[in-house]
Each structure stands twice: as structure tokens, then as C-alpha cells.
């Protein structure tokens, strides 16, 4: 499973590791990674770039 980093709303910090990330389809061919902040457990969501989505497939 690939690792993703995103912005945590609660930590107010970029580059936070997304724990237990799952790739979900958003329709229109876009994909997103959904998981929780590795530090505080807040739900995180990151829209994947085409490159990232290709890797996740
Ligand atoms: Zn956090």
C-alpha cells in the first residue's frame, strides 16, 4: 500500500502522514486517499494527482 501525505485540519500541518489510507473513487476518473492523521486521528482526505492515482491502481 502506498503512503500518502496531506494537510491535517486539526494539527494545521502539511505533509502529515495519512494512516490507514484507502483509495476511493470520486467519479470522473478522479481518485482520493482517505484515512486518518497518524498523529491525532482526525479524518483526512487527499485528492490524488494522476500520477498518484496511476500508482494506486
Ligand atoms: Zn493531525
C-alpha of residue 27 to centroid of ligand 1, in Å: 27
Instruction: Tell how far the Cα of 31 is from the centroid of ligand 1, in angstroms.
Output: 22
Q: Are 4 and 29 in contact (CB under 8 A)?
A: no
Report field, pTM of the whole predicted structure over 0.75: yes
Domains belonging to the chain, first-starting first, are: 4-56 (2.20.25)
Quick one: which of 35, 40, 31 has its CA closest to 5?
35
Give the whole-angstrom CA distance, residue 8 versus residue 3. Answer: 15
The grid coordinates of residue 51 equal 500520477
**pLDDT band, very low/low/confident/very high, at 1 (cuts 50, 70, 90):** low
Average pLDDT, the chain: 92
Q: Which residues surround ligand 1, an ion (CB under 5 A)?
A: 8, 10-11, 37, 39-40, 42
Q: What's the CA-to-centroid distance between 18 and ligand 1, angstroms?
A: 9
Tell me how far the alpha carbon of residue 5 lies from the centroid of ligand 1, in angstroms.
Answer: 11
Amino acid at each position: 500500500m502506498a503512503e500518502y501525505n496531506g494537510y491535517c485540519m486539526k494539527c494545521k500541518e502539511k505533509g502529515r502522514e495519512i494512516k490507514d489510507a484507502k483509495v476511493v473513487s470520486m467519479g470522473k476518473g478522479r481518485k482520493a486517499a482517505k484515512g486518518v492523521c497518524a498523529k491525532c486521528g482526525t479524518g483526512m482526505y487527499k485528492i490524488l494527482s494522476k500520477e498518484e492515482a496511476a500508482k494506486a491502481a
